Structure formats: C-alpha cells, structure tokens
C-alpha cells in the first residue's frame, strides 16, 4: 500500500512552527534592528559575535532555527498557493517548496560547518 | 427535473471577510520569516568572511529598506507566534489523570516558554 | 404604536423558470423574540408560498435549517431578528453546496462522506450477550463526547474555504465524527477509518483556518478534532516507518 509522505512534511511544519514561534521574533529584533541601529554598542563587535556564532552549540542552534522554519514555510506556502488558486500544479508546487527548503538546509549546513 | 445551481468560490475569497483575511495574513507571515532566514544565513556567511565583510553587511542592514523589512518581518513573526501558541492546545489532548488539561493552561505555558526563550537568547547575545 | 417591520432579502432559484438566481425582498413584522426562521415561516404562510427551505425542530438540535445569514453560516432558528434590526437581512443557501431550489442545498456530497468515515461502532470481536453491555467510565466518555454532539448541520462545510476550493475534501464534520468513533473505548475500527482519513483530500488538506469551530452551533470543535487526527496519524506514521516490525 502506498504510504503517504504527508505526515513527514507535516511534522517538519509543526516542528518548524514551534522553533519559529519561540526564537524568530527575538532574532529579528537583535540582528535586524538592534545590531544595525547600534543600540547594543559593543555587543555586536566582530570578535565577540564571531566567537559567539562559532561555538558548536550556537552552530547547532542556528542550523535548527534556519532549517526547521524553512520547512515550516515550505509546507505553509505550498498550501497557500493552492488556496490562492494554483490548484493545477499541486505536485510541482510541492516539489518546488520542499526542494527550496532542502536546498536552504544544505546551504545552512555548509555555511555553519565551514564557519 | 433537477438542475442544481453551482456557486464556485471566487479567487478573492480571502478578501470577503475578516476571518479569512486574517487567516491569509497568518499564512503569509511564513514568507517573511523565510526571507529573514535567508538574510540571517547571509549574515552568518559574512561573519565567516571576516570583519570587513561583516561590518559592510551590518551597515547595509541599517539602510531604510532593510530596517523597514525587518520591522514588517518582526510584526509577522510576532503574529505567527501569537496565533501558533493560541492554537497549539487544539492538537494535543493532554490529560492529567481523569481530567483534560484546559486549553488556557497549555497556551499559557507555551507563551511562558516563549518569554523564557526570548530572554535567554537576548541575554546570550547582548 | 405602528408595527415595526424588517426586510429580508432572500435568494430565489427555481430551475424550471430561472437560469440565474435572483433576490426577492419581503417585509415581515419585527418581533424582538423572533428568529430568522420565524420570519421565513411568516413569508411562507402569509406572503409567498413558493419559497422552499428546510427546517424542523426550530430549537437548534436537528441541524436542518442552516443558511447564510448576512454571509455567515448560521442556523436560521438561532439567528435573532433583533441582532440585525433595523437593517435588512440577506438570506442565502448554505455556501459551498449546489443549490437545489431557493434555500435548499444538495447535501449528497456530505452524506456520502459521512458514509466513508464509517460513523458507527466497529468491532473485530463481538463478545457473547451473556457478558453484558460494554461498560464505559465517565472519563472514557469524556474523551470523545464533544465530537459526538455534531448535529450534521453542515455549517462547518459552508465556513471552510478548503472545502469551497476543493469539494473533494472530506470536511470538518466527517473528520470530527470519525474521531468520535476512533476515540470511543468500545470501538475497534481505527485501522478501517485511517485509510479514508489519511487519503488525499483527507485530513491533510486542512490548513487550520478554524472557521469551522467558530460557526459550529454544537461546540464540537472540528478544527481540534482534525488537528488531533493529524497528530495521531503522524505518530502512527513514524512508528510504522521506524519500527516496521511492530504489530500491524
């Protein structure tokens, strides 16, 4: 009997949703607003940030917080496109979305390992 | 003789009422989050490329367009978090002995975890 | 004091004479304890006997009188005129279903889907009669009771945009009723219902819009039922994939 792969994508969506909900707001605040505007002074000096990001736990955390929410986006966006009227290309859309998330995950792994 | 009348949903269905519109907003927050994640990955890549690359990228992030994007993305991420934690109890029927744990407690503990996670990350980074 | 009236704009469609639907306006007496169903019954009795619609108990338990009232799926016996007075009220047949005539929709699709989920107790073994009835504690009842409150009114299907866009979607009530039996301690039919639930256009089509739960007059929370079905199906999937030698 052909086993549907939906539970796999849904579980990635759910995990990504939790990770995104917990960590993405504060990360956006810190990297997208606090750091560029300069509110935290020396906290974002290169040496300090490079050391912080280079720590193995940081790399693991960053990999998780990039990869899982990407799968969350992929699953959500796939259904959103269908809701917006792109019913005909159901499988193509699914492949494109999950494919993009897989590529993003691979790139994240590559960047974080080579850091 | 029966000739039923069909009323297909228009493509603009999600603009017809507030609940549908907020649903679509909620779904589209994932797009802003995904774009942010790409920017975050670029940031990490710039850190790997050395202090000059890093500082150049941070300067770029300070541009009005980038700041505007991050503010919108932050609003989107917050909306995702709020809706996610409010809906999370639906999927789980946690039972303590004979009684089911009320939704409000599950949602409340999710929000509490969110506050803790935020404070921990802020403390580590700042 | 002059008697107050309120206007109802009602969707009319008669296949034998109309190619397109129209709206017909009726002025009915306004009584602050009347519901939309009372107004429609007044129209049928006094103003226009040709109007067709379904109703029965007029007290919110039979599920017959579902209609779109100002664009919101409601039981017409539960929509009070005073919520809308003095503005006119637009009454249309339940959304996302074909219209048979006036306010009567074709509900065959829902009935068929209800059959697909096998909404009855399924037993693999039938204990002998001498063993007595199946016993159930209040806690066991509590697990599925909410989902058993469904009155099959189809308001959730009218509220669900996924069903509107994809009529093959199993839909909120059918899934909630499948869960009502899956979670019943007397039932042994989970495996039989799984195939339907996890098929294409089963639970996985749902994107948790949540409107089904908002409009449900019996507080069934079909959105919750569907989410729990997804969790159960996912746990089962991982167990089957990671531990294939387990009991089938």
Q: Where are the domains of chain A?
A: 7-113
Condensed to tens digits (0 to 9), the pLDDT of residues A74-97 reads 999 999 998 888 877 888 999 999
Q: Which CATH architecture has domain C5-105?
A: Roll (3.10)
Q: For residue C99, give the nearest of B5, B13, B27 by CB distance.
A: B5
Domains in chain B (CATH in brackets) are 29-91+102-125 (1.20.1300.10)
Q: Which of C228, C214, C217 is nearest to C183 (CA)?
A: C228
* C205 interfaces chain B, CB cutoff of 8 Å: no
Distances from the Cα of C172 to the Cαs of B126, C38, C222, C231, in angstroms? 47, 29, 5, 16
> What DSSP letter does each residue of A15-82 carry, written as one string?
HHHHHHHHHHHHHIIIIIIIHHHTTTGGGG-HHHHHHHHHSHHHHHHHHHHHHHHHHHHHHHHHHHHH
* B111 interfaces chain A, CB cutoff of 8 Å: no
**What is the CB neighbour count within 10 angstroms for residue C222?**
29
What values do phi and psi take at A6, rounded to 5? Answer: -55, -45
Q: Which residues from chain A sit within 8 angstroms of residue B43, using beta carbons?
A: 31
Q: Which residues from chain B sit within 8 angstroms of residue A76, using beta carbons?
A: 27, 30
Residue C68, Ramachandran bin (φ over 0: left; ψ between -120 and 50: alpha; else beta): beta
Query: What is the CATH T-level fold of the domain A7-113, as seen in this structure?
Result: 3 helical TM bundles of succinate and fumarate reductases (1.20.1300)
Q: Which of C88, C97, C108, C99 is nearest to C36 (CA)?
A: C88
Q: What is the pLDDT along chain C (248 residues), one digit of tens a residue?
A: 468 999 999 999 999 999 999 999 999 999 999 999 999 999 999 999 999 999 999 999 999 999 999 999 999 999 999 999 999 999 999 999 999 999 999 999 999 999 999 999 999 988 899 999 999 999 999 999 999 999 999 999 999 999 999 999 999 999 999 999 999 999 999 999 998 999 888 999 999 999 999 999 999 999 999 999 999 999 999 998 888 775 55
What distance in Å separates residue B89's CA from the closest CA in chain A? 13
Q: For residue A10, give the nearest of C165, C166, C234 by CB distance.
A: C234
* A90 interfaces chain C, CB cutoff of 8 Å: no
What values do phi and psi take at C80, rounded to 5? Answer: -80, 140
Contact A70, A105 (CB under 8 A): yes
- CATH top-level class of C108-242: mainly alpha
Q: What ipTM was assigned to the predicted interfaces of this complex? A: 0.93
CA B47 to chain centroid: 26
Contact between chains at B77 and A111 (C-beta distance less than 8 A):
no
Contact between chains at C234 and A82 (C-beta distance less than 8 A):
no
Per domain, the residue ranges of chain C are 5-105, 108-242
Neighbours of chain A (3+ CB pairs under 8 A): B, C
The counts of H helices and E strands in chain B are 4, 2
């Amino acid at each position: 009997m052909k086993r549907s792969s939906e539970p796999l994508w849904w579980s990635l969506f759910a995990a990504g949703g939790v990770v995104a909900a917990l960590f993405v707001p504060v990360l956006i605040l810190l990297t997208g607003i606090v750091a560029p505007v300069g509110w935290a002074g020396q906290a974002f000096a290169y040496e300090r940030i490079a050391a912080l990001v280079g720590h193995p736990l940081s790399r693991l955390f960053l990999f998780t917080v990039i990869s899982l929410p990407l799968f969350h986006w992929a699953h959500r966006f796939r259904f959103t496109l269908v809701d917006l009227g792109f019913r005909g290309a159901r499988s193509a859309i699914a492949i494109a979305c999950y494919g993009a998330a897989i590529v993003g995950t691979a790139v994240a792994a590559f960047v974080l390992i080579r850091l | 003789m029966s000739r039923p009348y069909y009323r297909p949903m228009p493509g603009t269905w999600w603009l017809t009422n507030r609940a549908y519109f907020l649903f679509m907003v909620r779904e589209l927050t994932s797009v802003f989050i995904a774009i942010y994640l790409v920017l975050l990955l670029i940031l990490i890549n710039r850190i790997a490329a050395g202090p000059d690359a890093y500082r150049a990228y941070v300067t770029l992030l300070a541009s009005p367009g980038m700041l505007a994007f991050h503010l919108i993305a932050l609003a989107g991420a917050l909306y995702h978090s709020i809706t996610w934690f409010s809906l999370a109890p639906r999927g789980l029927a946690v039972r303590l002995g004979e009684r089911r744990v009320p939704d409000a407690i599950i949602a409340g503990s999710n929000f509490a975890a969110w506050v803790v996670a935020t404070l921990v990350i802020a403390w580590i980074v700042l | 004091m002059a008697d107050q009236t309120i206007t109802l704009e009602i969707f009319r469609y008669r296949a034998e004479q109309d190619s397109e639907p129209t709206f017909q306006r009726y002025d009915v007496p306004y009584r602050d304890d009347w519901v939309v169903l009372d107004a429609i019954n007044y129209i049928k009795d006094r103003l226009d006997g040709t109007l067709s619609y379904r109703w029965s108990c007029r007290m919110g338990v039979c599920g017959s009188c579902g209609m779109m009232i100002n664009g919101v799926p409601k039981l017409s016996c539960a929509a009070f005129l005073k919520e809308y007075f003095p503005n006119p009220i637009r009454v249309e047949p339940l959304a996302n279903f074909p219209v048979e005539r006036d306010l009567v929709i074709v509900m065959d699709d829902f009935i068929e889907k209800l059959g697909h989920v096998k909404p009855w107790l399924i037993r693999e073994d039938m204990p002998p009669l001498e063993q007595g009835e199946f016993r159930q504690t209040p806690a066991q009842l509590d697990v599925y009771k909410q989902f058993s409150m469904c009155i099959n009114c189809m308001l959730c299907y009218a509220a669900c945009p996924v069903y509107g866009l994809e009529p093959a979607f199993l839909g909120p009530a059918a899934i909630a009723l499948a869960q009502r039996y899956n979670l019943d301690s007397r039932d042994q039919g989970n495996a039989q219902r799984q195939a339907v639930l996890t098929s294409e256009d089963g639970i996985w089509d749902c994107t948790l819009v949540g409107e089904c739960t908002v409009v449900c007059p019996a507080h069934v929370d079909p959105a919750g039922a569907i989410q729990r079905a997804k969790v159960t199906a996912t746990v089962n999937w991982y167990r089957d994939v990671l531990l294939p030698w387990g009991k089938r």
